[in-house]
Amino acid sequence: MRTKILEAVNITVIYPNGVRANDNISISVNEGEILGLLGENGAGKTTLVKVISGIIKPTKGEILLYGKEVEFNSYRDALKSGIYYLSQNPQLIEGLTVLEDIGLTLTLAGKSMSRGSIEQYVASIASKYNLKVDLKALSDNLSVGERQRIELIKPILLDSKIIILDEPTTHMSPLEIESLYSMLRDLAGKGKSIIFITHKIREATSVSDRIIVMRKGKISGIIERDKFDREVLLNLMFESNNTINKLGLRYAKPREYKSNILEVRELWVKGDYGDLALRGINLSVGTSEIVGVAGIAGNGQRELFETLVGLRKPIRGSIIFNNVDVTSSSPRDRIKLGLAIVPEDRLGWALVPGLNIVSNIIFALTNVDSTLKSYIIDWGMAWRIAKEALEIVPIQADSLNTSVESLSGGNMQRLILARELSRKPRLIIAMNPTSGLDYVTSINVKQVLIDYASRGVGILLISEDLDELIEVSDRVLVMNRGAIVGEFMRPYSLENIAKLMIS
Amino acid sequence: MEVLEKRATRGEIILKALIGALTGYIIAIILASIILNPSDVLRSVLWVYMNTTPITTAILFSIPIAASALGLTLAYRAKFITIGAEGQVILGSAVTLWFIAYSGINLQLPYSILLAIILASILGALCSLIVALLRIYAGANEILSSLMLNFIAMYTVNYLIATSWRIGPFTITKSIPEEYRLSVSFIIATLIVLTLLTWFILARTRFGLSIEVYGRAPRAAETYGYSPKTIIIGVSIISGLMAGLGGALAMLSFQHHLTPMSSPPGYGYMGVLVAWLSANNPIIAMVASIFFSTIVVLGRTLQAIGVPLSYVLAIQSMIVLSTLVAVATAKYTIRFRWFKW
Amino acid sequence: MVDLSLLLRILSNAIPIMLSAYGELLVERSGRVNLGVDGIMALGASISVLVSAITGNTMLGLISGLATGLAASILYIIPVIVFRVDQVATGLLLVFLAWGLADLIASIGYRVSPSIPIGSLQYNILALITVIIPLILWLLMYKTWIGVEIRAIGYNEILARERGLRVDTIRAIMLLIGGALAGLSGSYMALTLYNGKYFTGITGGWGWLAIGSVILGYWHPVGVAVAAYSIGLILTLRPYLEAMGLGPLSISTPYIMVILSLIIAAYISRSPRFKPPRIL
């Protein structure tokens, strides 16, 4: 008989823009159980656990701890009450040593210890659960894996009763994932409760005692371990069975590769901290080819993207684009030659907040297109150009004068694509193009990429979403620690690719 | 304490801004009244706003303020936060005085004035350029460096006034002869032209677009071919040029000579305040400049009953501060909770 | 052969800069910058002269200066911490506001009050405090968990908030301390350096030099102490430079020094080992 340790009652979270991230949700967490929280991107899982952790204040609803109502004014309150939240991409505060960072969390929870004690405890935890960390290192220089290990040590040090893990496996190898599962089972056995958030059914079923499925801000189902069924869970996650079948990707006829539109030879690039981010990268993208780059985030993908765009200069090697050596060319020159860019940060890199849709289209054209060359802007022509661009990939907006930040993520991405494609590019470099997008828009985006590939455009797709890469790419390269460690052709073996991602 | 963002309509923001500005103004007046005679203060206030002479004087005073502010709207939109307008105005007026009264260069009337104005503008632009170059090539933050340059400018001009420029036993300089002095109508025309010019640059030129893009999304700007160096150097030159211009016109229309400054005259700083108050909008900046110059006139009048001249900037600061706070209440909801330490 | 009296004279000039700089150091370490320091100093000077004159007690004058600084910092805390108004704007507005108020208050009655001569008890206490504070600050920032929290907030505000660090509370406290020190510094200037007088422009822009000291000292308590003392040195030597006929250049030396420290600090901050707090 399990005791209810935590209860969330009628939690509703409405954001200022009207979105209902959580709609009247009630869940309970039992002592010593691993609760899987399953749902696709944007279903509201993170919001819910942030409410439980005191990071977000719900518009309505209460939290009960051991049957008593509690009010969390900040994450600190939750920490003190024994709740720990591990976010998706954990960051440590730069400028501090790992020891200081850990000690800080302890102090906040009211359990400050001397530096010596911390060192002792961490050593014992590290050996028990296979979580090696260097306490003296500066927080800046850590790899994703190290950061994650540190974040996993903290709740154990704190002896937290409820540990919430938000998509913890995104940066983990299959081996590390197994380690994690056994650690979680061990903790659960000791009476700790775990909330495990994931969008992968496979993971949820592997480790949870119970699965709560969320969809569009509501709970769509609660399933016990003995009734786990992939079909059932899939149905609970998505609107209806049919949607998935209808929205398959349509592939064009087999494509011919004429020549290489992009060639990267022996590229060596320095990272932000003087380390080597890219070591001797060699890759090529042909016309009509979609080349996927897989890898755990933090292995040089960002630096690769920046170098190919021209925002970072390599120390060695060359980049040949459209038969022109662009290694030392500016981003502008590359765009003029036919490069299209779809970066990960939509607002702030691809789009300019505070400006309207028209401005956001033409600003990317004025310096590279001959039509808007004059010093004085002809806004009439600008509007016409914008409208033409939007015929390529339509978006939903009240008017072209609306400010771009009020658009949804999906519309922003469509806008970016429309704009980039209006320049009739020869190569598209995209990074995590479907991150944060709902299922339908993701399909939309992937379809656009496939269509353009069939028309002769080369596409370099850098993504953390392995499923997406496998769906869409003609070839998949694997990046690990700044180098290309493998190349795969169809048919893809997920396991083999994943193995190379972590070695 | 919790701070939550909320959607605010433009109308709400404008309304709150106006209420805030008025509140700040009233509080400042009340404070002055507490220290001195309330009825005197009130009478001065009414006099300033209801008679032509003070209004005309205010328009003259507004030119260094407006010229600085307009240039700064461009600089601030490019996120180049320079406070150097004060030094640039001072230098602009000083070099104008020098050229006309001391340099011995005598040209025909309109050309003399024109050349003086050009010299002042160039000097202001150079001054501003130094700040920009310090930021671009040395990574020095422009807020502090421009502030330091203001002091250097002020002390340098003070030195000149006290030594090579002084006439007679008192530290006072020669004056601009009558025929060189500019009229109110000329100033009004200049105000309008400068405002329209600034608006045009912002809304209708590629440079203006590049300012907006770079100021709001520097990564996007870098990617799509906008050179940060060009933009920063561009706005620094324009804002310095306009501030210097303002200084020249100030000297020619109302200053006429210089005396040593124990504290900065403030027109440049007022320009900075106006730019903030106007949310970097040129049209609003022009109106706000005139509003602020009426406060300068008010300050001069109140001087007679014992209010120090520095209180003018204090009044204006109170107005801007309460406006900014009022606008913030439109954008955020604040909830206070008793927090446990 | 080092002249002790010269060193003490430099110290007496350096004290106001050091005091304000220590306060600003705490503020900047927590991730904010208070540009209003110069104004708070002026206000502290004005009110401390007033109180000293009325009560005939300079100790009360010093304390009132400290209290004024405390109160003045609220004019920064409420807009910036509570209402999220831009800190640069608020800081500058505070300077102008405080300068004007200081002059306004002084216009009530200019009375030359008893002063705090160099060598008196109060002066010696102040001088001692000025030398001890950096040690206290060093212990606080590097040997206590609160210090770690303060530094963490300064390095990354967003993360700090997510982690539940007491960002606003700590910043408010740092600002209050900074304000108090600035007010104290101003009253010292009026009561000691200028023999109990207040006049327009009394701070001579020394508040800005204090802010410059924090940068020159690269945000380390001992560094800031040394930096502020050096600026005191330059200020003391200024009249000698003037006599040598360097003209406006001599007057400008401290300001040029601040600009130089901006450049040097920017250069140092490129190396990842020496991370400055994120202020702007």
Give A375's contacts in chain B (Cβ within 8 Å): 205-207
**Are B6 and A348 in contact (CB < 8 Å)?**
no
- Average pLDDT, stretch A158-177? 85
Closest by Cβ to A16, choosing from B6, B208, B217: B6
3-state secondary structure of B104: coil
Contact A88, A167 (CB under 8 A): yes
A196/A235 same-domain check: yes
Q: What pLDDT, on the 0 to 100 scale, is given for residue B223? A: 94
Q: Judge residue B39's burial from the number of C-beta atoms within 10 Å of its C-beta, 0-12 exposed, 13-18 middle, 19 or more buried.
A: exposed
Straight-line distance from the first to the last Cα atom of chain B, in angstroms, rounded to the nearest whole number = 12
B6-63: per-residue pLDDT in tens? 777 888 899 999 999 999 999 999 988 887 788 888 888 888 888 888 888 999 999 9
CA-CA distance, B143 to C208, in Å (whole number)?
Answer: 11
DSSP string, C218-244: TT-HHHHHHHHHHHHHHHHHHHHHIII
Instruction: Tell how strand A324-325 and strand A316-321 pair up.
Output: antiparallel
Q: Which residue of B has its CA nearest to C96?
A: B314
CB-based contact (8 Å) between A113 and chain C? no
Segment B317-329 mean pLDDT: 94
CA-closest candidate to residue C178, choices C68, C62, C20: C20
pLDDT of residue A274: 67
How do A475-480 and A20-30 pair as beta strands? unpaired
Pick the closest to residue B182 from B59, B314, B15, B271 (CA basis). B59
pLDDT band (50, 70, 90) for residue A36:
very high
**Residue A345 one-letter amino acid:** D
Asked if A341 and B5 come within 8 Å (Cβ–Cβ), the reply is no
When CB atoms are compared, the residue of C88, C97, C262 closest to B318 is C97
**What is the arithmetic mean of pLDDT over B305-320?**
90
The alpha carbon of residue A185 and the mean position of all alpha carbons in its chain are separated, in whole angstroms, by 26
> Touching B: which chains, 3+ CB pairs < 8 A?
A, C
Tokens of A130: 């296979």
Interchain contact A388–C (C-beta under 8 A): no
A196 phi and psi, to 5 degrees?
Answer: -115, 110
**Across residues A218-247, what is the average pLDDT?**
73
Neighbour count for residue A447 (Cβ, 10 Å): 16
Taking the CA atoms of B173, B179, B184 and B190 in sequence, report the sign of the dihedral they define: negative
Chain C nearest CA to A100, separation (Å): 7
Indicate if the pLDDT at residue A136 is higher than 60: yes
For the cut 90, the answer to whether the pLDDT of residue C147 exceeds it is yes
Q: How far apart are CA B88 and CA B271, in angstroms?
A: 11
Looking at per-residue confidence, does A91 or B206 come out higher? B206
**How far is residue A26 CA from its own chain's centroid?**
27
Contacts of C277 in chain A (CB under 8 A): 95
Per-residue model confidence as pLDDT tens digits over A265-298 = 999 998 876 678 899 999 999 988 999 999 877 7
pLDDT for residue A240 is more than 60:
no
- Evaluate whether C65 touches C175 at the Cβ level (below 8 Å): no
In a 13 Å sphere around the CA of C201, the CA atoms on its Cβ side amount to 11
| Domain coverage including residue A63 | 4-239
Give the separation between CA C82 and CA A265, rounded to whole angstroms. Answer: 54
Q: Which of A425-434, C41-50, C118-127 has the lowest mean pLDDT?
A: C118-127
Q: How many CA atoms lie within 13 Å of B34's alpha carbon, on the beta-carbon side?
A: 8
Confidence (pTM): 0.88
Whether the ω angle into residue C114 lies within 30 degrees of 0, i.e. cis, is no
Q: Do residue A93 and residue C159 have CB atoms under 8 angstroms apart?
A: yes
Reported as half-sphere exposure (CB side, CA atoms, 13 A), residue C176 has a value of: 9
Domain assignment present for A254: no
Q: Give A-chain residues touching C272 at CB under 8 angstroms.
A: 138, 140-141, 273-274
Tokens (6 digits) for B123: 């000097």
Q: Which domain CATH number covers B175? A: 1.10.3470.10
Question: What pLDDT does residue A16 have?
Answer: 67
| Residues A375, B206: C-beta atoms closer than 8 Å | yes
Q: Whose CA is closest to C265, among A137, B139, A208, A98?
A: B139
Q: Enumerate residues 240 to 259 of chain C having a beta carbon within 8 A of any beta carbon in chain A.
A: none
Terminal-to-terminal C-alpha distance of chain C: 44
Predicted pLDDT at A254: 59
- Judging contacts by C-beta atoms under 8 Å, the chain A residues touching residue C151 are 95-96
Cα–Cα distance between A156 and C56 in angstroms, integer? 62
Cross-strand bridge partners of residue A36 = A196, A211
Distances (CA, A) of A421 to A38, A463, B175, C177: 36, 20, 64, 56
Contact A89, A298 (CB under 8 A): no
* Tally of domains in chain A: 2
Place of tokens 């004059």: A374
Rounded CA gap, A10 and C61, in Å?
Answer: 58
Cα distance from C140 to chain A (closest Cα, Å)?
14
Q: If you ran DSSP here, which 8-state letter would residue A213 be given?
A: E
Interface residue A458 vs chain C (CB under 8 A):
no
Give yes or no: residues A157 and A263 share one domain. Answer: no
d(CA B269, CA B275): 10
Q: What is the pLDDT of residue B340?
A: 47
CB B274, CB B65: distance < 8 Å = yes
Is residue B275 pLDDT above 70, yes or no?
A: yes
Q: Are A65 and A77 in contact (CB under 8 A)?
A: no
**Residue range A61-83, pLDDT digits in tens:** 999 998 889 988 889 999 999 99
Residue A3: what pLDDT?
A: 84
Which of B5-19, B178-192, B313-327, C96-110 reaches the highest mean pLDDT?
A: B313-327
A82/C contact by beta carbon, under 8 A: no
- Which of A239, A267, A292 represents a domain boundary (last residue)? A239
Residue B320 CB partners (closer than 8 Å, separation 6+)? B21, B24, B273, B276, B277, C89, C93
Q: A325 and A228: one domain?
A: no
Note whether A97 contacts C: Cβ–Cβ < 8 A. Answer: no
pLDDT of the residue at A244: 42
Number of domains chain B is built from: 1
**Rounded Cα distance, C6 and A97, in Å:** 42
pLDDT at A253: 54
3-state secondary structure B263-289: CCCCHHHHHHHHHHHCCCCHHHHHHHH
The residue ranges of every structural domain in chain C are 16-203
* Distance in angstroms (rounded) separating the CA atoms of residues A90 and A85: 10
Burial status of residue B126 (CB atoms within 10 A of its CB: 0-12, 13-18, 19 or more): middle
Could you tell me if A43 and A215 are in contact, meaning their C-beta atoms sit under 8 angstroms apart?
A: yes
Closest chain B CA to residue C91: B321
Question: pLDDT tens, C176-208?
Answer: 999 999 999 999 999 988 888 888 889 988 999
Do A376 and B339 make contact, defined as CB atoms within 8 angstroms? Answer: no
Residue A54 backbone dihedrals phi, psi, to 5 degrees: 80, 5
Residue B130 lies in a domain: yes
Tokens 């209420």 locate to: B19
Give per-residue pLDDT as tens, A386-429.
Answer: 999 999 999 988 889 989 988 888 899 999 999 999 999 999 99
Name the token pair of C134.
């950096």
> How far does chain A reach from its first CA to its final CA, in angstroms?
43
In a domain, A245, yes or no: no
In our burial notation (b when 16+ CB lie closer than 10 A, e otherwise), range A411-432 reads: bbbbbbbbbbbbbebbbbbbbb
DSSP state letter for C277 = P
Q: Three-class SS of residue B36? A: coil
Residue among A175, A103, A122 at smallest CA distance from A145: A175
**Residue B300 near residue B319 (C-beta atoms within 8 A):** no
pLDDT at C5: 80
**What is the model's pLDDT at position C108?**
77
Contact A264, A326 (CB under 8 A): no
CB B140 within 8 A of CB C263: yes
d(CA B124, CA B92): 6
| Residue A244 lies inside a defined structural domain of this protein | no
Residues A384, A495 share a domain: yes
Domain of residue A27, CATH code: 3.40.50.300
The Cα-based distances of A462 to A285, A293, A303, A430, A467 in angstroms read: 12, 5, 11, 6, 12
Query: Taking CB atoms and an 8 Å limit, are A105 and C163 in contact across chains?
Result: yes
Q: A37-47, pLDDT tens digit by residue?
A: 998 766 788 88
Question: Residue A466 has what pLDDT?
Answer: 82
Q: What is the pLDDT of residues A390-401, one digit of tens each?
A: 999 999 888 899
Alpha-carbon distance of C193 to A346, in angstroms, equals 57
Q: What residues make up the domain containing B119? A: 60-306
In a domain, B101, yes or no: yes
**Residue linked to tokens 């730019």:** B275
| Residue B137 CB partners (closer than 8 Å, separation 6+) | none
Contact (Cβ atoms closer than 8 angstroms) between residue A12 and residue A58: yes
Q: Residue C147's closest chain A neighbor by CA?
A: A104
Q: Is B105 exposed, middle or buried (0-12, 13-18, 19+ CB in 10 A)?
A: exposed
State whether A210 and A321 are in the same domain.
no
C270 touches chain A (CB under 8 A): no
Beta bridge partners of A318: A265
Residue of B201, B223, B336, B338 to mutate, interface with A, max A Cβ within 10 Å: B223
Query: C-alpha distances in angstroms, C49 versus A339, C58, C181?
Result: 68, 8, 17
* SS3 call for A84: strand
- Which residues on A lie below 8 Å from C166 (Cβ)? 76
CB distance A303 to A269 below 8 Å: yes
Among partner residues B2, B216, B339, which is closest to A355 by beta-carbon distance?
B216
Of A239, A271, A300, the domain-final residue? A239
